[in-house]
Structure 1
Amino acid sequence: MDTHYYKEYSPCLQRQMEFKVYGYTGQPLLVFPAQDGHFFDFENFGMIATIQDKIDRGIVQVFCCDSIDKETWSDQNGDPAHRIYMHEQWYYYICHELVPRIRQINRSSKRIITVGCSMGASHAVNFMLRRPDLFLGTIAMSGYYNSDIFFQDFCDEHVYDNTPVHYLMGMPIDHPYIEQYRHCKIIISCGQGAWEDEMLKSTYQLRDLLYAKKIPAWIDIWGKDVNHDWPWWQKQFPYFLEEILK
């Protein structure tokens, strides 16, 4: 498999940021790591191996980025305004620094499909919804789409802008993004097993908002034996990728 590792300075974040690329061409996928994770987790937990055939055949090219969750969503003892400010800086890093690099490496202007598990799924959905001009669709597995368990009652404009259930609820039906969403490929899944209770509740809430706005999405709820864990995401990812590429 063709792989390349990059470590590049981010003006937005004022630090070196790492990412890794798998494959040489194809539909670009941007993978967000699970909570507090790193660019190498998707490979280390066996997710890349589940789609190696598509990578080797040039059907997809996978870009795994780094997160700064420990400074933002996970830092519940930190100042909430600063935490969400740092998340916004990371958002600008992804959209204005990493996406142009993806296009450069991919040698195309194709819109990108976002992918993630757990908090990575939360980011994957949020980025696609915030920037449907950049992102074609999403595969989100076991995500949480509200801000309450991370920011409690704190909600400034940045928290609102990064909380899908908030901004979808407040988005008028004639907002131009609504029509753009209708042409995106949205796949959101969740199990009903161990450690999925909060994610399942949030997935249903997001489902109801999408359907109320008449935004087509495949919301796929798996069984009561399906836990919030890598072995199940290893099964889900190639299955959903096959569907989203059709």
Structure 2
Amino acid sequence: MMEGTYYKEWSAVLDREMEFKVYGHGGVPVLALPARGGRFYDWENNGMPDAAARLLHEGKIQLFCADSIDGESLLAGNESPRRRAEMQEKYFVYLTSELAARIAELNAPERKEKPLIWCVGVDTGAYQAVQCRLRRPRTFAGAMGLSGLYDMGRFLGSAEDDLVLRSSPLAALRKNGICDRNVLSKAEENSLLLCVGQGGYEGDALADTQALADTLSEVGFPCHLEVWGGDVSHDWYWWGKEFGMFAERLFG
């Protein structure tokens, strides 16, 4: 199992210490987001850094595994939808401002220009990764969404709320029943990759991933979509295979 460097740092946005772990010594910085309710160590515990071991050892990529606050945002069933959306937006700001700045510092401390970051996520982490790319394209060069859930209505409630709308790529694109070209920043096909299987527990992810790809295509935001076979289930084993293949394709 590949060993990383552990960090625990204060977040002013979230008003707490946040943990993350870094693997590799240089190359393209890649922000990794866990599945729903997950933690920063889930990537290591499920062998995800090992799936890209060659790229990490050779300095082609550097992996930054972030923590989540899903228990206070997407999964906080005892809170109002508005409160859940507020916490999700704070988490988005943490990822795209505070953590992104630290990634730049750790990845290229001597570089004057901040490196563009890639992001990758699984399950709801795929949603977080895609949001980073679409809403902050000047910070994030691209995203990989693996078995993603992109319809935030199931977690945050009605898209009539402005903050929920901002937090849901599908709802934002379909604002007022039509595709709104001005909501999200343009993503090129080679910088937004979506992958999902057709096996066990992939039903919601398959529907959401296809819907997002179709909606992006309708409004001229192309993405690369791969739908894998009926043996590909909603679990870390397959996410490792997908991440390893896409990472080699993009950075190898």
Normalized against structure 2, the TM-score is what? 0.91
Pair 1:201-2:202 in alignment: no
Q: Which residue of structure 1 aligns with residue 123 of structure 2?
A: 118
1:145 corresponds to which letter in structure 2? Y
**CA shift digits 1:8-64 (9 cap, x unpaired):** 111111111011110111000000111111111001011111111110100000000
Structure-2 separation of matches of 1:150 and 1:50:
30
Structure-1 separation of matches of 2:160 and 2:40:
29
Query: How far 1:146 sits from its partner (Å)?
Result: 0.8
What stretches of structure 1 of length at least 5 have no aligned partner?
A: none
State which of 132, 146, 149 in structure 2 corresponds to 1:141.
146
Contact 1:2–1:56 (8 Å) recurs in 2: no
State which of 231, 238, 246 in structure 2 corresponds to 1:240.
246
Aligned-pair Cα RMSD in Å: 1.8
Structure-2 separation of matches of 1:151 and 1:87:
9
Query: How far 1:151 sits from its partner (Å)?
Result: 2.7
SS in 2 for 1:19: strand
SS in 2 for 1:226: coil
**CA shift digits 1:163-215 (9 cap, x unpaired):** 01111234644x3954x423761110110111111111111110111111222
Q: Which residue of structure 2 aligns with residue 222 of structure 1?
A: 228
Query: How far 1:244 sits from its partner (Å)?
Result: 2.4
2:24 corresponds to which letter in structure 1? G
**CA shift digits 1:91-131 (9 cap, x unpaired):** 11112211110000011522111101111111111121111
Normalized against structure 1, the TM-score is what? 0.93
> Aligned runs of 1:99-114 on 2, under 5 Å?
99-107=100-108, 108=111, 109-114=114-119
2:83 corresponds to which letter in structure 1? H
Structure-2 separation of matches of 1:71 and 1:176:
26
> More deviation in 71-80 or 151-160?
151-160
Q: Which residue of structure 1 aligns with residue 45 of structure 2?
A: 44
SS in 1 for 2:174: helix
> Aligned runs of 1:138-177 on 2, under 5 Å?
138-153=143-158, 155-170=160-175, 172-173=180-181, 175=182
SS in 2 for 1:58: coil
State which of 166, 183, 192 in structure 2 corresponds to 1:186.
192
SS in 2 for 1:103: helix
Q: Identity of aligned pairs, percent?
A: 37
Contact 2:159–2:165 (8 Å) recurs in 1: no
SS in 2 for 1:62: strand
State which of 188, 211, 218 in structure 1 corresponds to 2:217.
211
Q: Which residue of structure 1 aligns with residue 135 of structure 2?
A: 130
Contact 1:136–1:184 (8 Å) recurs in 2: no
> Aligned runs of 1:27-42 on 2, under 5 Å?
27-42=28-43
Contact 2:10–2:16 (8 Å) recurs in 1: yes
Pair 1:58-2:59 in alignment: yes
SS in 1 for 2:201: coil
1:110 corresponds to which letter in structure 2? P
SS in 2 for 1:36: coil
Contact 1:139–1:241 (8 Å) recurs in 2: no
SS in 2 for 1:85: helix
Contact 1:185–1:244 (8 Å) recurs in 2: no
Contact 2:189–2:223 (8 Å) recurs in 1: no
Structure-1 separation of matches of 2:119 and 2:191:
10
What stretches of structure 2 of length at least 5 have no aligned partner?
A: none
State which of 231, 240, 245 in structure 1 corresponds to 2:237.
231
